[in-house]
Amino acid sequence: MLRHMRTTINLPDGLGEEAKRRAAERGCTFTSLIVEGLHLVLHKSSGSEAMLDFPRHGGTGGQLLVSLADKAAVAEALDADGLR
C-alpha cells in the first residue's frame, strides 16, 4: 500500500515562490518538485549510484511522464527497459 505523509515546512523568504514558479515553468506541481528535490538530496548524500531517469515530456527538463505518487506506474516505468 502506498502511503503519503502530510507535513508543514517553513521555507526561507522567497524560496517557496521561486519553487512554485519553477514548477509552473516545468509543468509540474509544487509537491512533485519538492519530492524530486528531496530524492536528489537524499540520494546524493547516500553515496549510491545515480538516480534512475524516468521518462519526461520534452526531454530531460520536462514534466515527468510518471507520477512518483503512483507506485504501479513507477514500477512499470522501471520494468520498461528490461533491467529489473
From the list 40, 58, 60, 59, the residue with the least C-alpha distance to 50 is 40
| Cβ(68)–Cβ(35) below 8 Å | yes
* Distance separating alpha carbons of residues 27 and 25, to the nearest angstrom: 6
pLDDT in tens, 12-48: 889 999 999 999 998 989 988 888 888 888 887 554 4
pTM value is: 0.49
Q: Kind and range of the H or E element at 36? A: helix 30-46
pLDDT in tens, 63-72: 666 677 777 7
